[in-house]
Chains A and B, each alone.
Chain A
Amino acid sequence: MQSYGGWTGKTLRVNLSTGKISQEDTARYKEYLGGTGVGYRVLWDEVPAKTRSFDEANKIVMGGGPLTGTSAPCGGRTSITTIFPCVYPTELVGTGHMGGHWGAELKYAGWDNVIVEGKSDKPVYIAISDDRVEIRDASHLWRNGIYRATASICQEMGPETQVAAIGQAGENLVRMSVVMNAFSHSAGGVGSVFGSKKLKAVAVRGSGSIKIAANAQEWKKLRRYVLSLMGGNNQHVVPSTPQPWSEFSAPRSRWTARKGLFWGAANPVIETGECRPEELNRIGFRTMKATYDLGPEAEKHTVRMGGCASCPIRCHSQIDVPSVEAKYGVSRYAASTCVGWNGRMYFKSFPDGPAGTTSIEAAVVGKHMADDYGVWTCYSQLQRDFRWAYENGFIKANLPAEEYKSIDWSKCEAGDPGFLKELYRRIALREGEFGIAFGEGPGYLAARWQFPQSYFNSEATHYWKMGHPGHHANEDAGQAGVLINLIYNRDAQCHSHSNFVRNGLPTSIQKQLAEKLWGSGAVDDVQNFTRMNPDKAKFAVWALLRKELHDSLTLCNWMYPMVASPLKSRNYEGDNGIEAQLYSLVTGDRKDAAELDLVAERIFNLHRALTIRDMGTAEMRTVHDVIPDRIFDLPENKQPFTPGTNKMDREDMETAKDLFYQALGWDRKTGAPTRATLERLGLKDVAEKLAGMGLLPV
């Protein structure tokens, strides 16, 4: 790897059973890039079929990729791949994705990835200081939250250490648990795997460097080009209010900066103002996320924006809500983004309305509880499950009477954020039936409490399959959205498609852009979908492959791909080859978009192969790629493909699967990758293994 930029060339392996710490050449993973690519390869090669999440044989693969830690815009992501605990009823491969600064620091320490194997019998943490790696005693950290663990480790290793840690939830093998770094950046669902290995944290500080293969001028020019095409958060390319410089606007665009909108708790206050596309030194103001997520009341609480390493967008709001300290005993300072604020969703109402001060207090208390205990809320599934179970009497029915009485439900009814301290503590510490059940994740919860069919078919619960919710499905992108939600063993965490359809441009322009990429039939007017066509299959495939690419390079899938841009001079066209250009210049391994997409396809197919292997069946189409009935049945009074609904049609979705599998080179009947496809992608050994297990379609 010496000749390449980007990679450090070293992969760290830590065996917690034997205490052995070793180093490997990353070269063997080059054709899998990093992140999820390496994760799936390690799981395939080293973790036996049907290994369970908490088995000693399960492994954790964490790290970024060649771009992580460089100034590649939005290149600060980390993937944590393992056998994912929330998958119901069989634990299968899954990835938690976190931003922040950990992945970059790992690269500066000289490591591309960390593979953790085995199990410690005592609480430990892994301390990485450049090439000095130790397994250290963590008994003084066990039973403490993520905040204390982070602070403690920083005292041992230095205040600039980046710490990825679990809280009590992970320790207690709560399936709905996370690994956190940098105060607000969590990797969903993987915390309890750390806990099962008695691994409290992986902490890293690095003084080293990453080589950029291209010369400075070339690199600078590419960066400027990428920034010139950049929009706001989620690559929304129009502002949210009419502004002189823009032809279009869209009320729910994340390009929310405007005159009269301030970082109101900045000292002194700063106006976000009009941020024109050519003002590259104002990109960081474009997305005023606090008011976007929390409503207008949040303006006066906004200190600034923040987020991941190397990202100019800054989509994490950093807020100051002084009242929570005296009232609830949590810090007034909080940071998060999107669903991270959804402590509010546990409550039906607040005394001062849905977007008043109390709702913001609830968001802050919820953040601190979830992020310190390390509980995963799974795209707000935990909140939805709680509300549904509460409103439909399942909590009362399933808790012993004593336990039910011990919970102060009046606080929940009153919209009192203090309720969250009780709720999260019980879940993190597995207290009682309530704590255990809600920590199990939707699939196990539903089984445990025997939820009826109405739970699985409820728009209110948003349940999809296998213990996870839908995430940007038909409501965003019709059939393409549904297809995207079939593939993973957790919620899809794919935004390639939703970024595009929500970018604020008129559908007619989106179709023009789509014409060059997948065919203009790929996108419809939202809520006015048309029948399936091959363009939509191409769109879904592109979205998924790019997501895997981003989780391996790494780049932020909430910003890339950048196929639309805010520039009228380019007819709003972005550049579908940006990832390849960044990859080529950083590593020196020149690949064009198609060549890099082939690598992504390899990674994507390996995930599918793992799923097939560990489910013990190739019948993906019928057994795995399941679509909840509600997509076809609700709302009752609408017909699919009529204006005003995102309802889909069963036959049409069968056609969709046909076209989708065909586009991927997968067997139409089973949805399993064929030998030809696997071999085309350099996965001949995977094909052989699957064939030997009778899991290769004939």
Chain B
Amino acid sequence: MPDFDTAEPLEILAEKVRDSSRNGKILRLDEVWPGTEAEFIEWRQAQASTGTGDIVLMRERGRAILYSERHMTRAYAEAAACAVYEDIRYAIAQTVRGESRTYPRPTPLALFGEAPFLFSKQILDEAVEAMLTDPDYGDIRRIQASDGSGFLFSSVHMDPAHAESLAEWMAVGHMRNP
């Protein structure tokens, strides 16, 4: 912890960002910096403080976000940024497309009840219903495993048959083959 009597302002800001990141929260730049983004970058470069290299300024859809990569991965920061500052549909789509592309696997609807999303069931259901007819999200499909649990996947990144069988494997198959 910096000694607040002698610490540089950047060190103090860095601590604030780290504290948030440790708790799974990102900060918008405008929550901690009164000026513009460009001014912040210039100011930061001019600071003498070393040891704040873990503080990352991330731009997402026109917004500037701060997190500490000592305590948070970029993947989580992106998800958190989506969840907090974007509309729900975009957050869902980004996540689903990401998982369908990366792992690949379909995304359980239950994921969106967890941090950093914490969407209520009602809000989630409404958003998903809307997405299924929204051309911006034409690749997002919903499927159901035999135990009734719902999944979403992106048809751009996953074959529907693959998504269906993986959903079944995740929801039911794993438990039957522990």
A-side residues, CB < 8 A to B, are 241-248, 250-252, 258-259, 293, 338-339, 354, 471-472, 475-476, 502, 506-508, 525-528, 568, 638, 642-646
Contact = CB atoms under 8 A, between A and B. Distances in A.
A527 B178 CA distance: 17
Interface string B157-176: 00111111110011001100
A615 to B, nearest CB: 28
Contacts of A642: 161
Contact of B161 (A250, A354, A644): A644
Contacts of A246: 73, 75-76
B150 interface: no
B21 interface: yes
A252 B73 contact: no
Given A244-B71, A244-B73, A259-B115, A252 B24 contact: no
B5 interface: no
Contacts of B108: 251
Contact of A245 (B71, B164, B165, B169): B71
A472 B24 contact: no
A247 B73 contact: yes
Contacts of B76: 242-247
Interface residues of B, number: 35
Contacts of B160: 644
14 contacts: A242-B111, A244-B72, A246-B76, A247-B73, A252-B174, A259-B24, A475-B169, A506-B104, A525-B162, A568-B73, A644-B165, A644-B166, A645-B165, A646-B165
A691 B160 CA distance: 54
A161 B76 CA distance: 49
Contacts of A475: 169, 173, 177
Contacts of A248: 75, 102-103
Given A242-B116, A247-B74, A526 B102 contact: no
A164 to B, nearest CB: 24
B57 interface: no
A244 B21 contact: yes
A281 to B, nearest CB: 17
A339 B163 CA distance: 27
Q: Is the interface of B mostly helix, strand, loop or mixed?
A: helix
B159 A251 contact: no
B116 to A, nearest CB: 7
Given A247-B74, A293-B178, A528-B162, 17 more contacts: A242-B111, A242-B114, A244-B22, A244-B71, A244-B72, A247-B76, A248-B102, A251-B108, A251-B110, A252-B174, A471-B177, A506-B102, A507-B104, A643-B165, A644-B163, A644-B165, A645-B161
A643 B110 CA distance: 24
* Highest count of chain B CB atoms <10 Å: which of A246, A472, A643: A643
A678 B68 CA distance: 57
Contacts of B64: none
A643 B173 CA distance: 16
Contacts of B22: 244
Given A242-B116, A506-B102, A644-B159, A527 B166 contact: yes
B127 interface: no
Interface in B46-104: 71-76, 79-80, 102-104
A551 B119 CA distance: 46
A159 B24 CA distance: 47
Nearest to B108: A251
Task: Pick the 6 closest A-B CB pairs, nearest first.
Answer: A644-B161, A643-B162, A643-B159, A644-B165, A244-B72, A527-B165
Contacts of A252: 170, 174
Contacts of A338: 178
Nearest to B151: A251
B111 A251 contact: yes
A338 B176 CA distance: 10
Interface in B121-177: 147, 159-166, 169-170, 173-174, 177
Nearest to B77: A244
Given A244-B71, A245-B72, A472 B177 contact: yes
A425 B76 CA distance: 52
Contacts of B24: 243-244, 259
A241 B114 contact: yes
